[in-house]
């Protein structure tokens, strides 16, 4: 079987081996600028949009992908060499792989190389939506102050050199300024990140920055820019070299960076698009008036569940999430955490069978074909814990509920931050706060409470005596008995309480 590199020229040659776009990509105009063209965007929004474009009457919702940061060079070069094309590999529960070439990314720009080109594209009259997957930490929110972090050196650089922005806030400000000056229509800024009220967060953080960078622009943004909330969901692990080789072996298609994902997908969006929107509902998205119940459920159960499995699994020496959840003691711990501590905080979820949803999460986590790397899940935990885990803690404390399992999770994270698993093997820790976390973790060996002093993560939680006691007890138990024995004890305690 002859091998073909994935690009526009070779599409017809591979069409009998793999599903390809059945629309003329040369006729597609850019209506969406997306910042952060990593795996999740390509398995989610770009996939939905690709499916939509198969209605050949729709030609104005192509995507321009923006590689914002210096380390995005590889993905930019890959998309450039492949004319924006990539393969989406869906790994089914039965082990089958469904391969499809996605064609919705019709333009691509590398921001560090040409900041002005990115600003001009965002300000283009044909662009109606600027969407974002910039990770939880990309919103520059300080948990301690509950405000925008103006102390960030990159933010300070953008304020001093607005003509050469480095952050999303600098780029958006310059683009919206051009739209205002040119008398153009407004635009929708759509977050696709795992943050509750992600639209509200985007608006609040952007207006905080604009209030200092371009104060006269605030009123225009208030009137001409919308920020819909959304809940997004599709497990998308990092692409492994074996995924690339397997694609070549089974299809003869050489894709330098295919995207692998699970079959499940969900996108619930607040219908608030000031300049029009694609009819994503025709390809499976759901538009609603209020996204909050959906996103709160997902962040507190799926995303927190991932972090639980990641931290505990890492300490036990596991490499992938399915290994962790297929440990019956860890699975029981996660199930108990979801039932006894998260569920009471969720309130009324009209139309959602919560029991079935939680059961489906354990099945999805256990998909042995996905092989989601634990170090990916644990990356940037300092940005994830305040969003995924601590809201449950605070809600339970407010309602005098149980926080024993959540305190255990935080204690495990403190021990994880020392940098070694229980076998003494070094952990791969990827976190913007890695040095500070490690410093506090070392101090916590003799005084566990010290780890809670990281205010940008924990806020004032160090002052809650009940939580501190539960956390300290959990820390000491883990040190004395290890993760698994400690988990067994907690599971037994929960069972006895029931």
pLDDT tens digits for 5-55?
999 999 999 999 999 999 999 999 999 999 999 999 999 999 999 999 999
Burial class (CB in 10 A: 0-12, 13-18, 19+), 495: exposed
pLDDT at residue 1 in the model = 82
- Residues of the chain with pLDDT below 50 are none
DSSP secondary structure, 396-449, as one string: HHHTT---HHHHHHHHHHHHHTTSB-TTSPBP----TTHHHHHHHHHHHTT-GG
Can you give the pLDDT at residue 498? 61
CA dihedral of residues 283, 289, 292, 295 (deg, nearest 10): 0
- Is the Cβ–Cβ distance between 291 and 269 less than 8 Å? yes
Predicted local confidence at residue 94, as pLDDT: 87
Q: What are the two backbone dihedrals, phi and then psi, of residue 466, each rounded to the nearest 5 degrees?
A: -65, -45
CA gap 184, 317 in Å, rounded: 55
Residue 263 CA, distance from chain mean position? 17
Interatomic CA distance for residues 473 and 448, integer angstroms: 9
Cβ 380 vs Cβ 136: under 8 Å: yes
User: In what helix (H) or strand (E) does residue 79 lie, and over which residues does it extend?
Assistant: helix 73-81
Q: Where are the alpha helices (DSSP H) in 302-421?
A: 304-315, 321-325, 328-337, 354-365, 374-378, 381-388, 390-398, 404-416
87 close to 56: Cβ distance less than 8 angstroms: no
> Judging by DSSP bridges, how do beta strands 97-102 and 105-110 pair with one another?
unpaired
Distance CA 217, CA 214 (A): 6
**Two tokens, residue 105:** 């990314």
In 94-241, the DSSP E strands lie at 97-102, 105-110, 129-132, 141-142, 147-148, 187-191, 225-226, 230-233
DSSP string for residues in 197-237: THHHHHHHHHHHHHHHH-GGGHHHHHHHEE---EEEE---P
Report CA-CA distances (Å) from 420 to 121, 385, 435. 45, 20, 14
pLDDT at 348: 75
Residues 269 and 239: their CA atoms lie apart, in Å, by 27
> Which has the closest alpha carbon to 219: 210, 229, 228?
210
- Alpha-carbon span 173 to 189, nearest angstrom: 12
Query: What sign has the CA pseudo-torsion 460, 464, 470, 475?
Result: positive
Q: With 0-12 CB in 10 A as exposed, 13-18 as middle and 19+ as buried, what is 51?
A: middle
| CA–CA distance, 308 with 303 (Å, rounded to integer) | 9
Nearest CA among 174, 180, 287 for reference residue 223: 180
pLDDT of residue 347: 81
Element (H, E) at 288: strand 286-288
Contact yes or no for 65/102 (Cβ under 8 A): no
pLDDT given for residue 60 in this prediction: 97
CA distances (Å), origin 424, targets 253, 338, 427 = 41, 30, 9
DSSP code at position 28: P
């Amino acid at each position: 079987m002859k091998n073909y590199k994935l690009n526009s020229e070779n599409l017809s040659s591979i069409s009998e081996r793999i599903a390809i776009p059945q629309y003329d990509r040369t006729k597609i105009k850019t209506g969406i600028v997306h910042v952060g063209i990593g795996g999740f965007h390509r398995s989610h929004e770009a996939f939905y949009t690709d499916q939509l474009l198969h209605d050949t009457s729709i030609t104005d919702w192509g995507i321009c992908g923006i590689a914002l940061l210096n380390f995005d060079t590889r993905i930019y070069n890959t998309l450039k060499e492949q004319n924006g094309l990539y393969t989406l590999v869906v790994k089914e529960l039965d082990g089958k792989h469904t391969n499809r070439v996605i064609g919705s990314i019709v333009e691509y720009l590398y921001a560090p190389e040409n900041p002005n080109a990115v600003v001009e594209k965002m300000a283009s009259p044909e662009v109606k939506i600027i969407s974002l997957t910039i990770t939880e930490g990309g919103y520059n929110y300080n948990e301690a102050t509950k405000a925008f972090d103006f102390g960030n050196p990159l933010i300070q650089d953008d304020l001093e050199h607005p003509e050469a922005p480095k952050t999303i806030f600098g780029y958006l400000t310059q683009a919206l300024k051009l739209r205002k000056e040119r008398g153009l229509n407004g635009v929708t800024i759509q977050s696709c990140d795992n943050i509750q009220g992600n639209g509200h967060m985007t608006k609040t953080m952007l207006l905080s920055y604009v209030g200092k960078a371009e104060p006269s622009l605030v009123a225009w943004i208030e009137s001409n820019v919308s920020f819909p909330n959304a809940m997004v969901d599709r497990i998308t692990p990092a692409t492994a070299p074996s995924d690339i080789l397997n694609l070549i072996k089974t299809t003869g298609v050489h894709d330098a960076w295919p995207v692998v994902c699970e079959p499940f997908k969900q996108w619930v969006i607040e219908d608030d698009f000031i300049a029009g929107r694609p009819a994503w509902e025709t390809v499976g998205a759901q538009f609603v008036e209020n996204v909050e119940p959906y996103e709160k459920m997902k962040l507190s159960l799926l995303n927190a569940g991932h972090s639980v499995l990641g931290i505990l699994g890492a300490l036990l020496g596991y490499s992938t999430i399915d290994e962790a959840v297929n440990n019956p003691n860890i699975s029981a711990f996660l199930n108990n955490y979801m039932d006894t501590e998260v569920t009471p905080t969720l309130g009324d979820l009209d139309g959602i069978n919560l029991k079935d949803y939680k059961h489906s999460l354990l099945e999805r986590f256990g998909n042995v074909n996905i092989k989601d790397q634990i170090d990916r899940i644990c990356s940037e935990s300092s940005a994830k814990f305040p969003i995924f885990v601590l809201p449950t803690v605070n809600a339970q404390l407010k309602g005098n509920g149980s926080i024993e399992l959540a305190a255990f999770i935080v204690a495990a994270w403190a021990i994880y931050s020392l940098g070694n698993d229980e076998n003494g093997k070094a952990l791969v820790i990827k976190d913007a706060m890695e040095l500070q976390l490690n410093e506090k973790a070392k101090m916590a060996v003799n005084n566990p409470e010290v780890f809670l002093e990281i205010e940008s993560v924990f806020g004032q939680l160090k002052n809650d005596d009940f939580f501190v006691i539960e956390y300290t007890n959990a820390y000491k138990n883990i040190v004395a008995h290890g993760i698994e024995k400690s988990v067994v004890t907690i599971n037994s305690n929960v069972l006895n309480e029931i």
